[in-house]
Structure 1
Amino acid sequence: MLLAPPRRSPPRESVVPMINVVFLLLVFFLMTSQIAPPDPVEVAPPISVGGAPVDHGTRLFVGADGVARLDGISGDAALAALAARDPAAGPVILAADAEVPAATIARLMAQLAGLGLARVEMSVQP
């Protein structure tokens, strides 16, 4: 009985060279592409606390009318009371309404700096 030799299947093409080429192209495009345009100025942004509520320090509230309030005192008297507090009490936490103009906040920050308050944190919503 004569049997034909079994047919060998043709050798499969290796896909390893194609994978190498794809990865080389990927590395090339990642190295040469620019994801976002560069910033016009180098800045060091503040570090986020990770959403944890800040419960230390003295809270200075600024309502939509732009008036600063501290412990029932408002206006310049609140700023004077803030300047008289113990510096070891922690930072000043500025809790301003979203409707307060940025110019008002900037003017208040300048007043706080003039009072010698070096550390002021801004309270925001996540």
Structure 2
Amino acid sequence: MDLEPGTKRPSQESIVPMINVVFLLLIFFLMTSQIAPPAPVEVTAPASVDGGDPDAETRLFVDEGGVLYFRDSRGSAALDLLRAEPPAFGKVLLTADKAVEAAKLAALLRQLAAVGVSDVELAVSLE
């Protein structure tokens, strides 16, 4: 007859609450993040020592040849798409390559004004 007390197994803590917290954090970060679409063209922005956060949500790109890109459209098709879907408050963020000639950029700004864009912010890279 064995009269020795039996050994107790240590109680295991449940891992389920920790898994719940991890999934809640994952859902929170997925819901609050903004996934930006990739740029349609490679652009080297001009350098600046000062800059702020842009207000405009509509983003336009201009390559070194002066061609305008908006979403999947380029050139005059991009202007037509801008005319069909005007930006909020007439504001756009223009990411132009630093090699674009000033005359081409001025002509592009006149075309944007004709489409209804009244406020253009230039994206720069900070040094």
TM-score (norm 1): 0.54
CA distance in 2, matches of 1:106, 1:80: 19
The gaps in structure 2 that reach 5 residues or longer are 1-49
Partner SS, residue 125 of structure 2: coil
Aligned residues: 77
Root-mean-square deviation over aligned CA pairs? 1.9
Partner SS, residue 124 of structure 2: coil
Instruction: State whether residues 58 and 90 of structure 1, in contact with CA within 8 Å, keep that contact through their aligned partners in structure 2.
Output: no
Letter in 2 for 1:71: R
Residue equivalent to 2:81? 81
CA gap of 1:119–1:56, structure 2 versus 1, over 3 A, is: closer
Percent sequence identity over aligned pairs: 44
Residue equivalent to 1:120? 120
Alignment of 1:95-106 (within 5 A): 95-106=95-106
- The alpha carbon displacement at 1:72 in A equals 1.5
Alignment of 1:45-60 (within 5 A): 51-54=51-54, 56-60=56-60
TM-score (norm 2): 0.53
CA distance in 2, matches of 1:57, 1:90: 10
Query: CA offsets per residue over residues 28-57 of structure 1, 9 Å max, x none?
Result: xxxxxxxxxxxxxxxxxxxxxx63442742
CA distance in 2, matches of 1:76, 1:57: 21
Higher relative contact order (CA 8 A, sep 6+): 2
CA gap of 1:95–1:118, structure 2 versus 1, over 3 A, is: same
Partner SS, residue 99 of structure 1: coil
- The alpha carbon displacement at 1:87 in A equals 4.0
Structure showing the higher strand proportion among its residues: 2
CA gap of 1:96–1:118, structure 2 versus 1, over 3 A, is: same
CA gap of 1:92–1:51, structure 2 versus 1, over 3 A, is: same
CA gap of 1:98–1:85, structure 2 versus 1, over 3 A, is: same
Residue equivalent to 1:71? 71
Instruction: State whether residues 95 and 124 of structure 1, in contact with CA within 8 Å, keep that contact through their aligned partners in structure 2.
Output: yes
Partner SS, residue 104 of structure 1: helix
CA distance in 2, matches of 1:111, 1:62: 13
Letter in 2 for 1:112: L
